[in-house]
Structure 1
C-alpha cells in the first residue's frame, strides 16, 4: 500500500533502516526534497550511503555526516565533495550502472526518485531522468517517490503508483541548468567539429559550452536526428528551426531519444507530453546493439587531456578528480563503428590560463578512452583524425592541434616515438 505524505511530514525512519544503501535519481531529475530530508534525518538513522551519478542541486557537498556519498564521477556539484575528499568514486560506464543494480553488484536497498503527477491510469512518468531509475526501483526494497507537479510528463519510462511505497507530494521548480555561454575558444573548437555533422546525421552531444556552441552552428543542416544520453535547451532551437526531424533514422524515426533532460523550463515545457521526445533507460540509449543500428552517428564528448598516442583522460587531473567515465566509451565506440559516423573528443588546447598543455606526452590521470577506440580529437587549432594511423603519425597530428607554445616540447617526445616506432 502506497503511503502519501506531504513533504513537511516526511519521516524517513519509517522507510529507511540503519545501514541502507540508497540510489537517487540524478541531474535535473534529482529528488531535492528527499535529499534535503535525508541530510536532516540521515545521521539519526545511521550508517546510510547514497549513490548518485551526477548532481546539480548543490546539496551534496560532502559536508554532512548524514550518509556516505558515492558516484560514477565528480560531475556537476559533486566536484565540491571530491575536493573535500568526501566522494567515493565507482569507475563505470553509464551502460553498466543498470546491470550492476540488477545483479546487486551495486547495492540498492532504497530508491529515491522524482516523478511527474500520474496520468489517469496511475502511471507517473520519470520526467527529467530515465537512465538507471527503473533498474534501481526493481532492485530496491523500498521506493520513495517525490511527486512534483512542476515536472513535465514525458513519454517513455514510467512508474506505476503500485510500485511506490511512499509518495511525497511537492510543488517546486525542478533543477535547471542554463545553456553555457561559449567562449571564443569554445566556438573555435565547435567550428572544427561542425563539418563532421552532415545532413541526416544522428547526433549525440552532452551539455556544456562546446556542445552548445556546436548546436548553434548546425542551423543550415537538414533532417538531423538525435540519440543521446542527455539533451539540453539547444535541441528546442533545432527542432523549431526544422533542422532536427529524425526523419532518416533507421530506428525511432521522428523521435528524439534521450535518457536525461538537462536544461531550463524552456526544454521542460517543450518535452511535456511531446511524442517527438522519448525518455529511455541507459540500457537503450547506451546499448551497443541499439547504437549499432544507426548510420551516420556522430558523437561528441569531452576530455581533460589527451596523450600523443591518443589515450584520453576525462576523469582526473593530477590529484584532482574532476569528471567521470560516464557514457564516453559507449558513444565513442558507437560513433567510430557507425557507417558514415565519427566519434569526436573535444577539449581546449591548454589549461590553467594557458600554462599547461592538454595535449601531453603522458597523461596525469587515468585512461578513460583507450587509444584503440579513439577516432577524432578536436581543439581550437583543428581536428586530428587518428583512427587507423600509426603511433608516429598520431603524435604528429596531435602536435598540429596543440597550442603553438608547446609544440616544440611535444615534438621531442614525438621524435622518440618516430625513432622507436611505438
Structure 2
C-alpha cells in the first residue's frame, strides 16, 4: 500500500483506501502514541482493528478522552498504555483496574498541549462524514481536539462512515494529509437520555430563575441540565455556546426559544464542540447551517466566552464545601469525573458582562445518607476554587456566594443542605468561622 500524497486534504487528499482488511501495522509502529476521536464519535472500525492487531503492532500508548464504547478492556493494558483527562463514560472502570492514567487538564488547553507535544501524538485516527455539499469530508459530530492531533501526527488514518452526518467542519481540515482511509456503514454510538426525578425538577426550577431572555447558555449533559432545558419554553431568544450539545436542546430550537439572535459572538448559531446523544440529535446536526461545531480551543477559550453578554454557565459537581470549593472529579474513593471544561466556563462566565456561574447538584446521594454539601473537601481534589464561586443550587434553594465572606458563605450553604445534615454541618462549620 502506498503512503498518502503530501499534497494534502485541500487538493485531492490522496490516501490508501482500505475496504476489507485493515492492516494497521503498516502505519502504526511499536512505541507510537495514538489519539482518536472521543465520545460517540469514536472510529470504532479503527479502534476495534487496533485491539485485534495489538500483538502484531506492539506496545503503544493512547490518549482517549471520554469513552462510551466497550472497545477497551482492562486486560489490554499489557500492550496499550492509556491516558485521559477524566473518568467519564466507561473510563472509570479502566481507572479502577489501573489500566488508565488521568491527566488533570482544562479542555481549553488540550489542543495546545497536543500541538506542543506535551501530549504526544504519532498517529491520529478520525471518524469522518462522507463527502458533503462542498465536496469534502467533515469531522461530523465532534470537533474537540482532533484537528490539532491530526496536524501533529506522523500518520492520519480516517474511517469514513456513511452514517456520520456532514457538519460545517470541513474547512478545519484544509491542508491536512490523510494517509489511509477505510469505509464503514454503521450506526454511531448513542447516549441514552437521563432519568429526571423530583429532585432534578426542583433543582431545575430554582436554577431557571437565573436564566433571563437572551441569555447564552452552557450546560453539560445529564438529568439536571435536561430538566432545566425542559423548563425554558417561556424564555425568548436564548443562545447556546457549550462544550457538548444533547438532545434536550432540539425541542427549544423547534419552539423558537433558542434563536441565538442576540449573541454577541457567532450570532445566529449554536456553538458546540460535539453532539452527544441520539440519532435524532445527529440528524439535527446534518448539514445544519445554524450549528457551528468548533474545537475546544474555541468553545472553551476565555477570550471568546467573556465576549458573550449574559453568558450563563450551568454545571454539576460531586460535592461543594461550605466555602464554595467544588469537587467534580472524585466520589466514594473513585475517579469518575474530570477537571474538563468546568473552570473554563466558570471563569469565562464571571468575566462576561451580566454573566453567571451556577453549580447545580442534589444535596445528598440518592439514599440521603451522605451529604453532597460538605464542611471541607477532604477526600477528593478541589476542581474549582472558592474564589471562583458564584451560585450553588440544590433542591433546597440557592446560595449566592460571590463577594461573600467565609461566614456568610457557610450560613448560605448550610441553608441549602439537606435538613438531616444541617446540624452536623453547623457543628463542623466552627472550624471555618471561629
- Cα deviation digits, residues 16-65 of structure 1 (max 9, x gap): 00010001111121111111111111233112111111011122232323
For 1:289, what is the secondary structure of its paired residue? helix
Residue aligning to 1:417: 432
Residue aligning to 2:385: 370
Query: d(CA) in 2 for partners of 1:132 and 1:213?
Result: 29
Q: Give the 3 Å change call, closer, same or farther, for CA 41–161 of structure 1 in structure 2.
A: farther
Contact 2:35 2:149 in 1 (8 A): yes
Matched, 1:226 2:240: yes
Query: d(CA) in 2 for partners of 1:360 and 1:79?
Result: 23
Residue aligning to 1:55: 67
Matched, 1:31 2:43: yes
Q: Give the 3 Å change call, closer, same or farther, for CA 99–205 of structure 1 in structure 2.
A: same
Matched, 1:271 2:285: yes
Q: Which runs of 5+ in 1 are unaligned?
A: none
Contact 2:151 2:176 in 1 (8 A): no
Contact 1:61 1:77 in 2 (8 A): no
Q: Could you tell me how far 1:270 is from its partner in structure 2?
A: 1.1
Residue aligning to 1:379: 394
Query: d(CA) in 1 for partners of 2:384 and 2:205?
Result: 23
- Cα deviation digits, residues 103-128 of structure 1 (max 9, x gap): 10110000011110123665211001
Matched, 1:19 2:31: yes
Query: d(CA) in 2 for partners of 1:161 and 1:62?
Result: 37
With 77-86 and 324-333 compared, the bigger mean Cα shift is at 77-86
For 1:228, what is the secondary structure of its paired residue? coil
Query: d(CA) in 1 for partners of 2:365 and 2:97?
Result: 22
Q: 1:283 aligns with which of 281, 287, 297?
A: 297
TM-score, normalized by length of structure 2?
Answer: 0.94
- Cα deviation digits, residues 222-274 of structure 1 (max 9, x gap): 00000000101112111001000000101111100000000111111111001
Q: 2:360 aligns with which of 346, 351, 355?
A: 346
For 1:350, what is the secondary structure of its paired residue? coil
Query: d(CA) in 2 for partners of 1:159 and 1:385?
Result: 44
Residue aligning to 1:74: 87
Residue aligning to 2:334: 320
Matched, 1:251 2:265: yes
Residue aligning to 1:309: 323
Instruction: Kindly report the root-mean-square deviation, in angstroms, between the aligned alpha carbons of the 2 structures.
Output: 1.4
Q: Which runs of 5+ in 2 are unaligned?
A: 5-14
Q: Could you tell me how far 1:148 is from its partner in structure 2?
A: 0.4
Residue aligning to 1:396: 411
Contact 2:141 2:285 in 1 (8 A): no
Residue aligning to 1:101: 114
Query: d(CA) in 2 for partners of 1:352 and 1:182?
Result: 13
Q: 1:144 aligns with which of 157, 160, 182?
A: 157
Query: d(CA) in 1 for partners of 2:406 and 2:351?
Result: 20
Q: Could you tell me how far 1:333 is from its partner in structure 2?
A: 0.6
Contact 1:124 1:161 in 2 (8 A): no
For 1:23, what is the secondary structure of its paired residue? strand
Contact 1:43 1:67 in 2 (8 A): no
Q: 1:180 aligns with which of 185, 194, 199?
A: 194
- Matched residues, number: 418
Query: d(CA) in 2 for partners of 1:133 and 1:281?
Result: 8
Q: 1:43 aligns with which of 55, 60, 69?
A: 55
TM-score, normalized by length of structure 1?
Answer: 0.96
Query: d(CA) in 1 for partners of 2:316 and 2:73?
Result: 24
Q: 1:298 aligns with which of 303, 306, 312?
A: 312
Matched, 1:408 2:423: yes
Residue aligning to 2:349: 335
Q: How does 1:84-123 map to 2 (within 5 A)?
A: 84-119=97-132, 122-123=135-136
With 352-361 and 155-164 compared, the bigger mean Cα shift is at 155-164
Query: d(CA) in 2 for partners of 1:163 and 1:392?
Result: 58
